[in-house]
Chains A and B, each alone.
Chain A
Amino acid sequence: MEKKKPNNGGDQPQNRQWQPKIVAFLCHWCSYAGADLAGISRIQYPPNIRVIRVPCSSRVNPLHIIKALQHGADGVLVSGCHPGDCHYGSGNYLARRKFALLKRFLEFIGIEPGRVQFSWVSAAEGQKFASVIEEVVEDVRKLGPARRLVKNSVK
């Protein structure tokens, strides 16, 4: 008799509802601490993010984002300190310029708006962190799994 496999969600994608994977680059001084605060305060948010801590939002190179999309992220979030709050003085201002260009450019070549997002979250904004994550996950869920730029299966 065939043994029934236990249904624990399984690791086959077709066995369970698809869940978006979001890579979140969080700056050490603000957004990462904001995420921490959300945790400490027991604020619920979707478990779809994989956090990568960076010293500053301006540390994030456009290639980091592209690489994340290439290798399985369905969405990318970059989050840093509010303008004026950068630990290094001006990192987030420089990042803002870089990402303004990148966002337009990615959309120009046909990457869906919403795949790559940006936010300012301070160390005191646990609640905002949770709601940003909720929004990003919701946006990416609507877009569906990433297909463009994905390695070995560009569609």
Chain B
Amino acid sequence: MKQIQSRLRQTARQLLSEGKVDLLIGYRQGSLPLKTTPCFVSQEEEAVGLVWNSFCTNNLAVYLPGLFRPDPRSRKREEKKVGIVVKGCDCRSVVGHLKEDQVPREDLVIIGVPCQGMIDEKKIVAKLEGKEIIKAKEQDGQILVVDEKGQEIRLAKGNFLRDSCQVCQHPVPPLYDILIEGETARQALSDEYAEVKELEERSIDQRWEFFQREMSKCIRCYACRNACPLCYCPECFAEQSQPRWVGTTDDPSDIMAFHLGRIFHTAGRCVDCGACEAACPMGIELRKLTRKLIKDVEELFGYETGVSVEEPPPLATYKLDDDDEFIK
């Protein structure tokens, strides 16, 4: 980890000093323990602030489309080269951006980092049952937490991985300009779609109950949408008023319509980075829903998201012998 971090800083310094990038997106220490925060580095000297550890959870790809968006009036975009630090999942989001023509490849420097799985802060907080966390650091596969009484608690990192990391199949970025060498990434841990299958097998009423229960918690803050690298539309259907696709009330059906719209927009595009679920303040199980689509896209169209820029998106192409059974 430490080695990766120093190599990362060195690479960043070099890229900036040689003018290969004007801006570099990475992580720096957050103001709270167990957190890093995204940072935008444009000066060589700032590169020492970059960090790499098991708390680099944010998907930084979310910032890319905005950085390259043309000015609405002049329709021109600012010339700049952007470097971005990516884990496997973030990289697959970038592949999506390239595929969807949101980001010019020639102006992008992808700095890949093999990922060993990131920590879910909420799981640690839950484990400590109300104790306040004053300090946290990482040491030999363990997380060292200091609580408000100065007591040190050691936690095995493996028990606190994010759910999305536990089923991740691509810890190594599939596309990069520079790969920071580091410890080899781990294997995916559990049956990939176990939780989706479990829900599929329940009765229709139980499935509805699940959906209704999850949706009833939603406060429509749209954090899930804002954290998602796919949701780059300047104007979201959720806010459009001509036509008004979804009502803006807190009526359960409007909340459901928003989610169905959002989730369906991720079809064939979601890389299961987990950013939506991590951002949700209400702890809604959003990944179970998006993963159902990932599973079906794989089953129906044999498509895996974010591994190839050239392969056309599954909903923008077809085969003559696609499944027809369900049509009268």
Whether A and B are associated in the same complex: the answer reads yes
Q: Would A94 and B261 count as touching, CB distance under 8 A? A: no
Contact of A101 with B328 in the complex, beta carbons under 8 Å: no
Which residue of chain A has its CB nearest to the CB of B325? A100
What per-residue 1/0 map shows which CB atoms of A93-113 lie under 8 Å from chain B? Answer: 110111111111101111111
CB distance from A146 to the nearest CB of B (A): 11
**Cβ of A46 < 8 Å from any Cβ of B?**
no
Contacting residues, chain A, for B207 (C-beta < 8 A): 107-110
B289 interface residue per 8 A CB criterion: yes
**Judging by beta carbons under 8 Å apart, are B292 and A110 in contact?**
no
A120 contacts partner chain B, Cβ-Cβ < 8 Å? yes
Interface residues of A in 92-139 (CB under 8 A from B): 93-94, 96-105, 107-113, 117-120, 132, 135
A64–B158 Cα distance when bound, in Å, is 44
With A and B bound together, what is the CA distance between A96 and B32 in angstroms?
48
**Interface residue? B296 (CB, 8 A):** yes
CA distance A118 to B323 in the complex (A): 13
Question: Which chain B residue lies CB-closest to A79?
Answer: B328
Chain A residues with Cβ below 8 Å from B267 are: 101
Write the chain A residue with the least CB distance to B196: A108
Q: Which of B107-115, B173-181, B244-252, B272-280 touches A?
A: B244-252
Since A63-B245, A149-B257 are in contact, a sample of 11 more A-B pairs with Cβ atoms closer than 8 Å, ordered by chain A residue number, is: A94-B318, A97-B314, A97-B318, A97-B322, A105-B260, A109-B208, A110-B209, A119-B328, A148-B208, A151-B247, A154-B251
Closest 6 CB pairs of A and B: A110-B208, A119-B328, A93-B318, A109-B211, A110-B207, A154-B252
Q: B: which residues have CB within 8 A of A? A: 199-200, 204-212, 237, 245-247, 251-254, 256-257, 260-261, 263-264, 267-268, 289, 292-293, 296-297, 300-301, 314-320, 322-324, 326-328
